[in-house]
Amino acid sequence: MPGMVAFGRRWGIASDDLVFPGSFELFVRVLWWIGTLSLYTLHKGKFDCSGGRVLHSYLVVLLILLAFIILSLCAIVYVSAQGTITNPGPRRSIPVLVYVRAMLYVPELIWAILGAIWVSDDSQGCRPAEVGAVIAAVVASWILLLSTGVGVLFVFDPLGTTHPGSQSQELLGVRDLESSQGSQLLSTARSVAVRVWESRLRLLCCCLPRDESHRAAFSSIAQLVSGFFSDTDLVPSDIAAGLALLHQEQDKMEQCRDPDEALSHSPSSPIAEDLQAELEKAAHCMQFAVAAYGWPMYVYSNPLTGACKLSRDCCKTQSAEYDIVGGDNMGCHFSSVLHSTGLQYRDFIYVSFHNQIYEIPFFVALDHKREAVLVAIRGTLSLRDLLTDLSADCENLPVEGVSGTCYAHKGMSQAASYICKKLLNDGILNQAFTIAPEYKLVITGHSLGGGTASLLAILLRSSFPTLRCYAFSPPGGLMSKALADYSKEFVVSVVLGKDLVPRLSYPNMEDLKRRILKMVSNCNKPKYRILLQGCWYELFGGEPDDFPTEMDNRRKEELNQPLLGEESLLIRSSSSYQGLASEESPVHGSHLPLFLPGRILHITEDGPSRRSCFSQVRYRVQWSSETAFRSVLISPRMMADHMPDAVLLSLRSLTQDRPFNLCPSSLSNSHLNVI
């Protein structure tokens, strides 16, 4: 629902978000009140020290003050738990209760100051237990006051200022905002939102330089993010509740699906020769994609011995022959690459760990086992990489011989162009093929590296017609349909399970927002119950809860009409709202559709989705299409399935036909050895 309006502004918290913080503070205050009452009862009539009368008065007033605070918190928690997300009527008294609770902070602050003065001046001669109790009360008061201040900063919304213009905007209504006045208000709100998001990005990336490329990236990302949230009035807890509902809804649909609908393959069943061959090549290339991450991934994958192995090579003076390595001052990155790939120094043509926005690390090596010149590109590992990821505008990428519109993800397109220029203009590939002229070119990478590798393969295809590319967990919003179809000849994408990143695109995120709006609008349970049951389901599993909806009692002919709750969550008519009545495909809106590259190998776990950490897991694999990744799947493994070590583990399991444990710590120290 819309953020709560109090003290003349809208906040990033709703009236039904006070159940949990209020309950926690209530618990603390009750314990505090009981402790103060016990102290007062035990020492009643015995305050015979020099400041005894002051201490007596302090405890009496503190008990009364705590009692009023406890009553106000009880009222806030009770009222905040009423109604549903889109039915705030039973909670209309929350602002008044918040004002009352805020007024009680004034005497509490005064009493905390008086308590501190008594401890410092008038506590001589009093018993240590009495003095300690007062000190504890004073410290607790200050901790709670400071915690409240921090909480206010967290829920402060820079865009929440209410003024006559915003009131008139609400009175205009959703449909009337097509007028000139409504358009002007929305344009002003949009520009303010962009400036706020730019400020947040600059604060987050305060350690980065303020050059033109960074300013352009900040502006582009701010416009993207502010535009995505501009047509809704959801607070973060609404999104969390919607995700919890959507996860259970998706799990129910998955349980109802016929297991024979999808044709799957595993090493123990007949597999087409091309699939088996591609699996083996992908498993081999994945070790290089993992190695490109340098020492952090090596230590993560080898927690017991990784740091010790690298410590022998890090921080020591490098010999002159290491001149091919750039951007690795301590030598730890290159040392981890040597350990991970099993290659010798002489097998490397060029290694760069130079990292700027749109300029990501990569290395070029001779893979004698597969007779290939291999280019491995690193994935996201820094703030600069994250800015490259989030520069998600479309950029033209003309390719000779490709019919149709050619465009791609801006950040990865520029990163691919940077690497392409280095490879060609600096003669890196010429040097490699001079040494091994019969070898073929293979490009690989994971995540950001996978997307960049796919675009780099497209750029180099005309010069190297036999090249191959293996992109692991590439982003879904990568390239146009024309480029995606063109890349099927030489690019293979590998996606594990319910990985979020290959499903990330603006249309998919609009679809996710639309589904969240529908779930929170229709559910007739209070938010605190949704969140509690959602947390229980995520942690311990069980059967998905069958949440009744506000549509259960509606007549069938009313189901096509927009719900009042849905309209209340929207600031203006948007693609999200227009798509609420449809359960089909995502709404693209004004953003161009982007797709995964090449042919897609989809790896899934064979068996129940929930297992203990040390359970044995087998995988199955099948060729898939881009339509299978047109919606975001909510799952506890949506990020874990994106990790490069998890992708490598699944490929090793498929090629070696043996199960693996799910725990990273259970992996052997040779986890990254040559396959």
Q: Which residues are catalytic?
A: 447, 499
Residue 375: strand, helix, or coil: strand
The tokens of 303 are what? 């927690």
Q: Nearest to residue 29, comparing CAs of 141, 118, 138?
A: 141
Give the Cα separation of 449 and 151 in Å (integer): 38
Provide the residue type at 412 as one letter: M
Helices in 303-398 by DSSP H: which ranges? 306-311, 332-341, 383-390
Give the Cα separation of 572 and 569 in Å (integer): 9
Q: Is 630 exposed, middle or buried (0-12, 13-18, 19+ CB in 10 A)?
A: middle
Q: Nearest to residue 450, comparing CAs of 390, 380, 540?
A: 380
Residue 359: strand, helix, or coil: strand
Residue 278, CA atoms < 13 Å, CB-side half-sphere: 25
Provide the residue type at 296 as one letter: P
The tokens of 526 are what? 């209070």
The tokens of 636 are what? 């506890």
Quick count: other Cβ atoms within 10 Å of Cβ 556? Answer: 7
23-46 as b/e: b if 16+ CB within 10 A: bebbeebeebbeebeebbeebeee
Q: Are the beta carbons of 182 and 199 closer than 8 angstroms?
A: no
Provide the residue type at 154 as one letter: F
Residue 364 to residues 358, 432, 452, Cα–Cα distance (Å): 19, 8, 15
Residue 487 to residues 193, 241, 282, 358, 493, Cα–Cα distance (Å): 38, 39, 16, 22, 10
- Write down the residue that tokens 């002919």 correspond to: 557
Residue 177: strand, helix, or coil: coil
Provide the residue type at 240 as one letter: A
Q: What strand order describes the sheet that includes 491-496?
A: 325-326, 348-352, 362-367, 372-377, 440-446, 468-472, 491-496, 599-606, 616-624, 660-661
Give the Cα separation of 527 and 20 in Å (integer): 11
Residue 304, CA atoms < 13 Å, CB-side half-sphere: 8
